[in-house]
Amino acid sequence: MMLKFGIQPFWFWNGKMRDDDIQWQIKEMANQGIKGFFIHPRQGLTIPYLSDEWFRKVGIAVDEAKRLKLEVWLYDEYPYPSGVSGGEVLLDHPEFEAKILKRQALDINGNQTIELDLSWGQIVLANAYPIADERIDWEKPISLETCIGTGYKENIFQMSGLTKYNRKRYFTGNPIKKPLIP
């Protein structure tokens, strides 16, 4: 197949994606000189992603694009941004979950107390290093890992029907790592 040069936009699939609308939109793209498109599932899609119905509709798009000599590409970012095919990859292969290593550095002078909200995740290393004569002493790390615990950014209040005497419930949500360094 010879690649065609020209615009090949992301075609957001959201809503019902009726068969006749799929064919009409592809004809409109071809009429405007579009050389191909990326089927890009997005929030609002009402057909289950990667279901038989999903692939049936993809087949309609491929057949119509082939008839009009357009290229079709599938884009697996559902729901954007993910890259994990609607969560299907992690369901079967949790070892493929993406990880990120974040570095955070602070300059602290004297006896300050530091309190931070960190991302939820595993702490790999949390050290302080003394500075003497404007030089960091990398040979004398001070571990701060024991200063880090779990905090919550959301306070949640609900009125529920547990008993007529006690209907108030307090919860927390949105966990974070929270260091308090004296």
- Domain boundaries, given as residue ranges, for the chain: 10-91, 114-181
Regarding pTM above 0.95, the answer is no
> Which strands make up the sheet holding 168-181, listed edge to edge?
114-115, 168-181, 148-159
Return the pLDDT at 42: 83
Q: Which H or E run contains 88?
A: helix 88-92
**Residues in the chain, overall count:** 182
Q: Round to whole Å and give the CA distance between 77 and 101.
A: 22
Q: Report the 10 Å Cβ neighbour count for 53.
A: 13
Q: Round to whole Å and give the CA distance between 37 and 27.
A: 12
Q: What is the pLDDT along the chain (182 residues), one digit of tens a residue?
A: 555 688 899 999 988 899 999 999 999 999 999 999 999 988 888 888 888 899 999 999 999 999 999 999 998 777 666 666 777 777 788 888 778 888 888 888 777 878 888 877 788 888 989 988 989 999 999 998 888 887 777 777 777 765 666 666 666 677 777 776 66
**β-sheet bridge partners, residue 1:** none
Tell me the CA distances in angstroms from 163 to 4, 158, 159, one per residue in order.
Answer: 68, 13, 11
Handedness of CA 47, 52, 55, 61 (dihedral sign): negative
